[in-house]
Amino acid sequence: MNTADSEEAVLSALTRLTVLWNSPEIQTRVAREAGLALDSADIAPLYLLGMLGPSRPSEIAAELHLTRPTMSKQLGRLTAAGLVTRMTDPNDGRAAQVTLSPVGARAYRALVLRGIVMMREAFSSWTREDALSFATSLTRFVTQLGVGAPSALPLTHLVGATAPTPTDAPSSAGASDRRKS
């Protein structure tokens, strides 16, 4: 395989991964397996808030490439479900921020743990060295793309560890399978 072929293969694999991972079916399955009843569209803002901490709705909308009205609807559903709370921005009393409630923080942690289980399952037939090499290379690749800071939870911790269990995950969060409004 020449360089052009390998570059095209990487681009194709990344595109397939992105499309698959962001599909409503996968997001709903991850939430369900984490013990959560969430609309697939509401998982990304919940997850992003868990990663970023308190944020302005406009910042979340920009990160997710969504319009402000769409973000407002999603945050409204998450707030109504008790997963997100609104507060005054401590740096600008005229602006609002949203943050995860304690229930939302447990839901976020359950999603993270379920994602880790999925990755460990995918790595199960890999050698430890291959998995560590992939984790290191992927983290470096994402950083080099300028997509954002690598996760606070590097992929290297996934290799050779036992599967986590979401013992403190809520049995349900939010209404069952609400649709986008």
Helix residue ranges per DSSP H, the chain: 3-22, 24-33, 40-52, 57-64, 68-80, 102-123, 128-145
Mean pLDDT of 75-104: 93
> Alpha-carbon distance 29 to 31, whole Å?
5
Asked whether the predicted pLDDT for residue 174 surpasses 60, the reply is no
For 14-61, write each residue's pLDDT tens digit: 999 989 988 999 999 999 999 999 988 999 999 999 999 999 999 999
pLDDT of residue 121: 92
Q: What percent of the chain shows pLDDT beyond 90?
A: 54
Question: pTM, whole model, 2 decimals?
Answer: 0.74
pLDDT of residue 147: 59
Higher pLDDT, 151 or 122: 122
Q: Are 174 and 38 in contact (CB under 8 A)?
A: yes
What is the residue type of 165? T
Mean pLDDT of 56-73: 93
Distances (CA, A) of 83 to 10, 20, 26, 42, 76: 37, 26, 21, 10, 10
Q: Could you tell me the domains of the chain?
A: 3-158 (1.10.10.10)
Angle made by CA atoms 32, 63, 98, in degrees to the nearest 5: 70
For 99-136, write each residue's pLDDT tens digit: 999 999 999 999 999 999 988 999 999 999 999 999 89
Asked whether the predicted pLDDT for residue 153 surpasses 70, the reply is no
Asked whether the predicted pLDDT for residue 5 surpasses 90, the reply is no
Mean pLDDT of 52-76: 93
